[in-house]
Amino acid sequence: MLLSGKVALITGAASGIGRATARLFAHEGAKIAAVDINESSGREVIESIRKASGEAIFIKANLAHKAEIESAVRKSIDQYGRVDILHSNAASYALGSALEISEADWDRTLDICLKATWRLAREVVPGMLANGGGTIVITGSVQGIRGYSGHVAYQAAKGGLLALTRSLAADFAPTIRVNTILPGAVVTGLWDGISADAREKIAQMCPLQRNGQPEDIAQAALFLASAMSSYMTGTCLVVDGGLSSIIQPKWEQK
């Protein structure tokens, strides 16, 4: 019960890393506000939490819209009285180099992956300061620290999250701790359409020779959200099976 009595607001909670984190946090005693645009899958998540004797609510929100972020935080506080933990995890993904990606795809990717985290922080930080503490956990990516062709918007957003992490941590320490997880190749809904052969090829690029599962990242989120990481803020935790620790020439990826 590492999060007993805590209230956790988790975005992108209907699938993948967000779903695994919501279930794990609830198992560890947290009350969950699960936020996602996918209502049917989001409600399935909270029902699974409730069946396991946890406490959770679902809040539908499009995190590209400021008003919906504000509403989601307000509904969480109306239900539970406060937010102790923010896990900013929602993502949007559009392929393309700087010459290929459309401006609309660029804007949406940056809005969901980067700007939403800033907006969420603006909404939850005042309450955390008033309550004497809180933790913010951000889902970044190893693409924030390593180059990867054809992902310009996603990489720009994830790189921005690292700077935002340091800034938030500096501004609101020691009351609020802010850290980011950098997952590697984790099988989530963003992998829809990737063939089994392609998934295996990606796995073999990793020293541990497997792709990550959402539960691998949820465990890292629990560590950063709980007192286990009480002396950590303003930093990133790489959880990528060793992917970013080795030199992988581009021609070897083909």
pLDDT at 202: 86
Going from N- to C-terminal start, the domains of the chain cover 7-239
User: In this structure, what token pair is assigned to residue 225?
Assistant: 């959200």
First to last CA, the chain: 45
Tokens 């990737």: give the residue: 194
User: In this structure, what token pair is assigned to residue 184?
Assistant: 């590697």
Residue 181 phi/psi, 5-degree rounding, is -95, 140
pLDDT at 249: 58
| pTM of the model as a whole | 0.94
Q: Which residues are designated catalytic?
A: 154
Helix H or strand E encompassing 42: helix 39-51
**DSSP label at residue 229:** G
- The one-digit pLDDT tens for each residue of the chain (254 residues) are 999 999 999 999 999 999 999 999 999 999 999 999 999 999 999 999 999 999 999 999 999 999 999 999 999 999 999 999 999 999 998 999 999 999 999 999 999 999 999 999 999 999 999 999 999 999 999 999 998 889 999 999 999 999 999 999 999 999 999 999 999 999 887 777 788 888 898 898 899 999 999 999 999 999 999 999 999 999 999 999 999 998 775 555 55
- Angstrom distance (rounded) from CA 217 to CA 188: 11
pLDDT at 93: 84
8 Å CB contact between 87 and 61: no
CA–chain centroid gap for 46, Å, is 18
pLDDT at 254: 52
Report the SS3 class of residue 226. Answer: coil
The highest-level CATH class for domain 7-239 is: alpha beta
